[in-house]
Chain A
Amino acid sequence: DTAVSQTPKYLVTQMGNDKSIKCEQNLGHDTMYWYKQDSKKFLKIMFSYNNKELIINETVPNRFSPKSPDKAHLNLHINSLELGDSAVYFCASSQWGGLAGVRAWEQYFGPGTRLTVT
């Protein structure tokens, strides 16, 4: 029944490791996002995918690589983890209203993944 799910919810790892976070949505949405919430609780967009295509890539180190195997999934792979990568990562999804202008405004968030790099 969960609309947007993320695995794992907690991830503790050492510097230099490579890790992945998975996201799945069962809402039939065409757009998925990754947001990062830092230690000061500031939330910022990292990536946005529409129909499996990358449409937004904010200034994120290239150690972060999103992958969307299909519309319902958006995974985040992080190479060579650093202490500064410790944060909560949120996946979200939404449906575009299209050029017809149907107003589709809501984004649905996953429960977040708390990543701790030691």
Chain B
Amino acid sequence: AQTVTQSQPEMSVQEAETVTLSCTYDTSESDYYLFWYKQPPSRQMILVIRQEAYKQQNATENRFSVNFQKAAKSFSLKISDSQLGDAAMYFCAYRSANKNKGNTPLVFGKGTRLSVIA
């Protein structure tokens, strides 16, 4: 079974600074997706960024980028120019891309609570 580990229960960053959230995962599959979700106090799950395992290039979405190290099974999220609105729980998630498994659910890490200090 796949597992996702987020080793930082809480992180804080000064406004306008950069912060990196860590995520490692364990799988025997070669084809999968990795995601970072943001959950603000409203509790809505918001997709921040995704990475497909077969792509070597790291995904980027505006101020959000990832460092995907497939061999190390590491998938960290970097938030640049942090804003007050970035304060939230961040979840790393894994999903199999094995087409023979059909639509597979997400496997989540336990989350990192990010605080942004003005």
Number of A interface residues, CB 8 Å? Answer: 34
Partner of A42, one of B95, B104, B105, B111: B111
Interface residues on B, range: 20 to 34
Kindly supply a per-residue 1/0 record for chain A positions 93-115, scoring 1 wherever the CB is within 8 Å of any chain B CB and 0 otherwise: 01111111101111101011010
Give Cα A98–Cα B97 distance, bound, in whole angstroms.
Answer: 11
Inter-chain contact total with CB atoms closer than 8 Å:
66
Chain B 90-113 interface mask (CB, 8 Å, partner A; 1/0): 010001010110111111101100
The answer to whether A111 and B103 have CB atoms under 8 Å apart is: no
Q: Tell whether, in the assembled complex, residue B110 and residue A40 are in contact, meaning their CB atoms are under 8 Å apart.
A: yes
Complex contact B103–A94 (CB within 8 A): yes
A105–B52 contact, CB under 8 A? yes
Residue contact B111 to A105, C-beta cutoff 8 Å: no
Q: Give the chain A neighbours of B33 by CB distance below 8 A.
A: 105
Which of A14-22, A44-52, A59-67, A68-76 lies at the interface with chain B? A44-52
In the complex, the answer to whether B105 meets A45 with C-beta atoms within 8 Å is yes
Asked if B111 contacts A30 (CB within 8 A), the reply is no
Q: Which residues of B contact A (CB under 8 A)?
A: 33, 39, 42-45, 47, 50, 52, 89, 91, 95, 97, 99-100, 102-108, 110-111
| Chain A residues at the B interface, C-beta cutoff of 8 Å | 30-31, 33, 35, 40-45, 48, 50, 55-56, 88, 90, 92, 94-101, 103-107, 109, 111-112, 114
